[in-house]
Amino acid sequence: MSAQPEGGCDFNREDRGEWEYFRMEKSGDQGTVYFKGAHGKYLSAQPDGQLDCNRDEAGEWETFRVMLAKNEE
């Protein structure tokens, strides 16, 4: 996933560059985080299932819960 300058997200990269890195920030709630893209905007989950990276501030749609996968054998 890469954060585009116009605020969209692309899922078509074969290599990682600056735009494919996100900084994870802790939110005020335990177990939730925000992701800030290379252009200084927050990742946002939209109601239609799309992801954008165009928010100046983090709010409800920019909050993600960290879940650890259980090792199943």
20/12 Cα distance (integer angstroms): 11
Mind listing the domains of the chain with CATH numbers? Answer: 2-65 (2.80.10.50)
At 20, list the tokens.
């494919």
SS3 40: coil
At 50, list the tokens.
């799309």
Residue 64: pLDDT band with limits 50, 70, 90 = very high
pTM of the model: 0.82
42/38 Cα distance (integer angstroms): 9
Question: What are 18-41's pLDDT values in tens digits?
Answer: 999 999 999 887 889 999 999 999
Residue 72: pLDDT band with limits 50, 70, 90 = low
Handedness of CA 18, 45, 41, 66 (dihedral sign): negative
